Structure 1
């Protein structure tokens, strides 16, 4: 392991990779700072560029961009009361109230400082837990992987979703899309309708760029919301009270970081859910819950640490099992496959230096967040004045060029635009996009492991549960689905009180 870490250190700390990390950090900070441009969209737009990079800088670009964008979303939330990313929405009221009290530097300092600490905590857990889980998973067969994939799909539908039914429909849509093409155990063309462009299946990168970037452009075109104006012109010392707050709220920091990491590990959750749950937990156990929403730092500390720690947690199932913990790691898995770094427990055997390089990138990205985040906060008042009417056409142009560059195919551009319209229609009607992406990513794994398991069992369904670990995973998966259905029915049948 030490030799692999030394090799990884040399791979990361070379001029080209460091330049990619710094450029990605600036890009992630700028995109996350602009309301409506999420960390997922920033990552999706970056993917076409990674096509031309070696594996380590390609993955470094994804990690650094997402890490910076999640923090940077706090800046417009604090200054404009408009969250830059969905994760920042959980505590936007407290941060904006601090700005109204003349303390924007306190709110922004908390967001920056405790995001770094939470990110480092999650990274430490990832560095320790991932190899241990991978070593255990090396003994898994197709049956165990089938149930793990099924659990990941179930988590995307039944955990953290406002409407499990709509999430289930979105997931089934993704699984149906995954059926297209010849990439299946039988090697037979399916649902190609005589189109040669579909024989290879739906290209994942143009699809994700369309669903996360083009849909946002369409949403801006039809939006009639008034544009907020920034009133803050001066931001004081950012780190002045951070050590004092660390000593005052140590358990909030630890609790938020731990909860965020655990939520990140659960497929389909992500930073948004981590921030909301941590903020709710902070208020639940606070000695001063009445101060929440009035500019109180306690909830900011816990939720701020949680959303960044969840990013590292989401990489654990992505690396060990190839199951994305959130939409960002779903994109990253596509990049890993593109770079011949197929995720799974064997990646720690075949490419340990690349995995350890990713760990080091996480550490470096979080440490870089302190100086670069400080600089971003200082120039935020200028960036937030950029008209989105100018920004959105530029984003659409980059999306079109990026989708074309993957395979030099206009067909991929058409796919990107089509999926952008589809995602826009889905979100306008309350259907989440993330389960669809998860279905496309995990659908082939589900089918392949199911077919292999049935071949080994001569078609006997008992073969799916006749191994101890498989039986436990099956029980957890079925129990999770059954519990969610029961809880949903119970909430609907509860009497309404006034």
Structure 2
């Protein structure tokens, strides 16, 4: 009870309340603008969190990301241009409502079910994470090494597109994480004589470059969005309770799918939305209505994307393994604020953990009134010239990364990684896998070296501890299983041919 009271006092401070309000408005605005993603909104906030208290810093990221995921549905519904990748799964469905003069139905469903999904994901985080923390307290460096490997492998297995390209992007990220002297031997690696690289690649600068700068490059190379015609909207939430009762099974299924996918390292809300929308169409009694302005898919996918956002914090808070690109950024902020991810976070900083839960709940509740305001003000936001928006974003990137390190090297690193992020996305390589390699590389290396030092160079303890053995089997099965299945299938086909 004392912990609960202490957590409530943390979020009841003026600083945290103001941060939640401003971050929410910021996230709604960024998500609403085509070409600017929720991840980019989070990356731009990182330099500002440097000056905030730990709870306020985390509150800024949670509020902005939750609002941006929903807000991406607005241009998708009105212009058929998804504001964020999570909105792309059902953009055609939502736009069909606008074509027949009912945008309020689609926008209301996006808002209402995103809020409900976010609250469901928060309760899943509250129930699952502490239970897993008790198990994780028994882990040593051997288990954390295999857990890190399994997380990296999941990032490639669940990524859309070519799996070899995802693996190549992951390896490139791991290579970047090796730069500098942060290793057991204390010798410079890949610094090429540069003093600025001795401390390694600044993760914040790299993330801002990969997400924010690369987004600017993509947006400026894309054709301009159509001008949003001025229009008045009717009641935004009218009929949403009727939809909730009619599609309660789909809503629950979307929530559960969102939590399951969100807890997978590297998956994220965009994959949750795609999978849940596809499942909704597959099991619908009226699949022929999908694509014509049918609310069933919107209910399930809208529930899934925000539920996955909260669930993505489960592996992040427990093991320091990012559930998605947003929590990859959040992990850097947690370390910067002394809230080191791990099972001890739930015992040594229990009040801070409860405060994070409170922030999730508050952010999803205030999403409804703020979302209605944003929908009604959309006409003005979507008419801002693209060059003005992108110039402001680029300026924020430069000022932000310089403020963190007080070094021009960080600005150059952000610019360089912007080009890398743009090139990876342009040629079909997984940006998420690349980022996870950068973030998790030091964790995997540190636990591997620590384990070898403890065992005197023997690899036996990596396999003879029960938990380590299970994680090793899962990792190796995930790595070699697809290859073995492919070889077995080829042998079967050859034998059948003969």
TM-score (norm: length of structure 2):
0.96
1:415 is aligned to: 413
Q: How many residue pairs are counted as aligned between the two chains?
A: 493
Which stretches in structure 1 are left out of the alignment for 5+ residues? none
Q: How has the CA–CA distance of structure 1 residues 81 and 486 changed in structure 2, closer, same or farther, with 3 Å as cutoff?
A: farther
Counterpart mapping for 1:134-145 below 5 A: 134-145=133-144
Aligned counterparts of 1:235 and 1:491: Cα–Cα separation in 2: 56
Q: Post-superposition shift, 1:481?
A: 2.4
How does 1:36-435 map onto structure 2 within 5 Å?
36-223=35-222, 225-231=223-229, 233-435=231-433
Write out aligned runs for 1:16-35 (5 A).
Answer: 16-35=15-34
Q: CA deviation at 1:153?
A: 0.1
Distance 1:411 1:226, change over 3 A: closer
Residues 232 and 476 of structure 1, relative CA distance in 2, 3 Å threshold? farther
Distance in 2 (alpha carbons) for counterparts of 1:52 and 1:414? 23
The two structures, once aligned, show a CA RMSD in angstroms of 1.7
What secondary structure does 1:419 align onto?
A: helix
- 2:159/2:430 contact within 8 Å kept: no
- For the Cα contact (< 8 Å) 2:25–2:370, is it kept in 1? yes
1:353-404 CA deviation, whole Å, 9 max, x = no partner?
A: 1111111100000001011011111111111111112111111011000011
Distance in structure 2 (CA, Å) of the matches to 1:205 and 1:392: 20
User: 8 Å contact 2:28–2:374 — kept in the other structure?
Assistant: yes
CA offset digits 1:315-339 (Å, max 9, x no partner):
0000000000000000000001111
Local SS of the residue matching 2:384: coil
Q: Report the alpha carbon displacement of residue 160 of structure 1 after superposing the two structures with TM.
A: 3.0
| 1:291–1:335 distance in 2 versus 1, CA, 3 Å | same
Closer/same/farther in 2, CA of residues 356 and 14 from structure 1, 3 Å limit: same
Structure 2 segments unaligned to the other structure (5+ residues) = 494-498
| Contact 2:224–2:386 (Cα < 8 Å) also in 1 | no
Cα distance in 2 between the residues matched to 1:221 and 1:66: 23
- Give SS of 1:161's match: coil
Q: Distance in 1 between matches of 2:427 and 2:492?
A: 26
In 2, the alpha carbon distance for the partners of 1:388 and 1:257 equals: 35
Match of 2:496 in 1: none
> Structure 1, residues 388-427: CA drift from partner, whole Å, max 9, x if none?
1211111101100001101111111111111111111121
- Following TM superposition, by how much is the alpha carbon of 1:278 offset from its aligned partner in structure 2, in angstroms? 0.2
- 8 Å Cα contact 1:116-1:367 kept in structure 2: yes
Q: Are 1:38 and 1:86, in contact at CA under 8 Å, matched by a contact in 2?
A: yes
Residue 75 to residue 487, structure 1, CA distance change in 2 (3 Å): farther
Inter-CA distance 233–488: structure 2 relative to 1 (3 Å threshold)? farther
- Secondary structure of the residue aligned to 1:465 is helix
Q: Distance in 1 between matches of 2:163 and 2:487?
A: 12
Which residue of the partner structure matches residue 5 of structure 2?
6
- Cα 1:492–1:367, aligned 2, differ >3 Å: closer, same or farther? farther
CA contact (8 A) 2:159 2:166 kept: no
- Shift in alpha-carbon separation, 1:457–1:396, aligned structure 2, 3 A: same
Check the 8 A contact 1:98/1:107 in 2, yes or no. yes
SS state at 1:83 partner? coil
Q: 1:490: Cα distance to partner?
A: 9.1
> How many Å apart are 1:194 and its aligned residue?
1.7
How far apart in 2 are the matches of 1:489 and 1:230? 53
Q: Are the aligned partners of 2:191 and 2:198 in contact in 1 as well (CA < 8 Å)?
A: yes
Q: Once the two structures are superposed, what CA deviation does each residue of 1:155-197 show, in whole Å capped at 9, x if it has no partner?
A: 1111133111111111111111111111112222222122111
Whole-Å separation in 1 of the counterparts to 2:376 and 2:488: 50
More displaced 10-residue stretch of structure 1: 254-263 or 345-354: 345-354
Query: Displacement of 1:494 after TM fit?
Result: 12
1:491 deviation in Å?
Answer: 10
Q: CA deviation at 1:430?
A: 1.1
Query: Matched residue of 2:377: which SS?
Result: helix
* Residue of structure 1 equivalent to 2:469: 471
